[in-house]
A and B are shown apart, each in its own frame.
Chain A
Amino acid sequence: MIAAIRSELTRLRQPRLLLAWFGLMALFAMLVNTIMVTFVSGGGSLPPGAPGVAFPTLAEMESPSGLMAGLAAASNMFGIVSLSLCAVATADDYSSGLVRLLVAAEPRRWPLLAGKVVALVIVTAGATTVAAIVNVFAVLPAAQAAGISTVAWGTNILTVVALAWSNLFMALCVWGVLGLVIAVLARSAAVAISIGVGYVLVVESLVKMVKDAPSDWLLGTTLGAVASGGTATIPYTTAIALAFAYVILGLVLAGAVFIRRDVTD
């Protein structure tokens, strides 16, 4: 599997792909922090079911974890970026015909798929780091300008940053794996992105708007809870367990299809 990981990492060193991935993470980190600080300091609140973001209260913002609150707030946006770019990186193998060459070189398809997953997880770690760094540099001046107290942000700073990073990283890994799974099934980046984005922005939002509909198990909600370290409705451990179940289910499905399906692309 090491061979497959090294091979995938070499292929992922595409300047445009990495620029798009890291650039979008940085852009969303900056945007969400700016908007979040303005919103929180103005005492605003989002309507229930608003897609993609979940802002903290002023008290939460002024607590030690307020420094990294932007990561959790924008986790679903970051998630869509991860899903999309993992889908592109996977579907490109089909659209270019490269999958033929890869399977001919390594006919054991499980290591090939696992190598791609691990390589994408490594790049996701890089993307999470970019988001975390930009978050810190964006939130500090924005908070000071908006009059939000940042006194508590120095407390346990390493723990706060590490926890926020690892929570977002776990959530993005799940998003990325799901992008890969949809791309393997659809063999098309456009279809995979449409399904992923359509689900989060339309399907999940609609389900949340329906009163009494059980929405705690939904993908975006679950991964938002993972990125936030748990929420009032979904405990952290439940969110992690659900996310793990999503990943296992997705990988088993993608693995079964990838292994059994003819490579005719």
Chain B
Amino acid sequence: MPVVTTSELTRTFGPVTALDGLTVELPSAGVIGLVGPNGSGKSTLIRILLGLIRPTAGSAAVLGSSVRGPAAYAARVGVLIESPAFVSALSARANLTSLAHLRRVPLERVEVVLGQTGLAGRDREPVKRFSLGMKQRLGIAAALLSDPELLILDEPTNGLDPAGIVEVRELLRDLGRNGRTVIVSSHQLSEIEAVCDHLVVIRFGKLVFSGPMAEVMKRTREHIDVAPELLADLPRLEAGLTDGGWSVNGMDGILRIVANAERAADLNRAATAMGITLRALVVGQDNLEEIFLEMTGRVDGELAEGRAIANGKVA
């Protein structure tokens, strides 16, 4: 059974359509990446799933229950929404205890999640003394408090140092492997690529892609980056290769040619025929970031907002 289903889910804020008939099913178990440009509707979707806001039209269900009655599933869902929010004058332990009371969770769980997130030694310090990374860990601890089936985490590695990022990635992978479903909304596509089993891409409130990460990565294309010995030769090299039928993109002193590794020697010969010596010729593969940019049309949703509102659509 899918953990989340939405059907023609729409939410408007005045003239802005944040979600525009979004229909998607998210599979249970594993880590699901939710990505999209700024203003694509990710936060609105998460808020609807958590019962914080109501849809204007359409329907959605979490763990089989409609979002119009979130009390039916709230105990089974853990959340970290945007930046972690706590009472800064209280300790990490007191904040978690307060949430444990509200969620009717045994207080032993506070110890467990403090240990899981590496906060056990600093649990009695006021949260106001915590760094952003520590607050982020506390946010994750709060999300894990009820030992939920479904975790919804918005930018979970925000503010963490490299070691902290690796730890959180490991934690997310473990949670996904142990039968839980983790939905991670993030702008860090390297993070999504590293931990997610399934990817959902939305743009302008509509679904662009939903499928296994393996399927996404099949879209990767090999490319060859070349750089002439003399920078002044770059325009001539680009024109010559384009005329020769190569697919060329100029990028910051190099040319990226869409071609697989076997054609590297042909490329080198073509440059030599033009009387240009190459100082670099590197074979590579698109990463998720490049695929994402292709999928989303290299658009910043918030910058496009004015244009979209004018068209009656949204950001």
Contacts and interface: CB of A to CB of B under 8 A. Distances in A.
A14 interface: yes
Interface stretch (B89-97, B111-119, B236-244): B89-97
Contacts of A104: 50-52, 70, 74, 77, 79, 81
Contact of B53 (A3, A6, A264): A264
A10 B77 CA distance: 22
Interface string A221-265: 000000000000000000000000000000000000000001110
A174 B268 CA distance: 84
A107 B51 contact: yes
B103 interface: yes
A101 B71 contact: no
Given A103-B52, A104-B52, A263-B53, A98 B74 contact: no
B30 to A, nearest CB: 22
A204 interface: no
Contact of A96 (B71, B85, B99): B85
A133 interface: no
Given A96-B86, A98-B87, A263-B47, A105 B81 contact: no
Given A4-B102, A7-B98, A101 B89 contact: no
A17 interface: yes
A92 interface: yes
A7 B51 contact: no
B143 to A, nearest CB: 9
A3 B81 contact: no
B288 interface: no
A147 B31 CA distance: 78
Contacts of A11: 87, 90, 94-95, 98
B99 A7 contact: yes
Counting contact residues on chain B (CB < 8 A from A), the size range is: 20 to 34
Q: Which of A99, A107, A108 has the most CB of B within 10 A?
A: A107
B82 A106 contact: no
A97 interface: yes
B286 to A, nearest CB: 36
B142 interface: yes
Interface string A70-100: 0000000000000000000000100011111
B157 to A, nearest CB: 19
A194 B305 CA distance: 36
A13 interface: yes
Contacts of A3: 101-104
Contact of A101 (B70, B81, B97): B81
Given A3-B101, A101-B142, A105-B102, A92 B87 contact: yes
Given A14-B87, A98-B86, A103 B101 contact: no
B54 interface: yes
B88 interface: yes
A211 interface: no
Contacts of B97: 10
A8 B82 CA distance: 22
Nearest to B81: A100
B220 interface: no
A15 interface: yes
A102 interface: yes
Contacts of B79: 101, 104
Contacts of A17: 89
Contacts of B178: none
Top 3 closest pairs, chain A to chain B, by CB: A97-B85, A7-B102, A107-B70
Interface of B: 47, 50-54, 70-71, 74, 77, 79, 81-83, 85-90, 94-95, 97-99, 101-104, 142
17 contacts: A6-B101, A8-B98, A10-B94, A11-B98, A96-B86, A96-B88, A97-B83, A98-B85, A99-B85, A101-B85, A103-B50, A104-B51, A104-B70, A107-B70, A108-B71, A264-B47, A264-B53
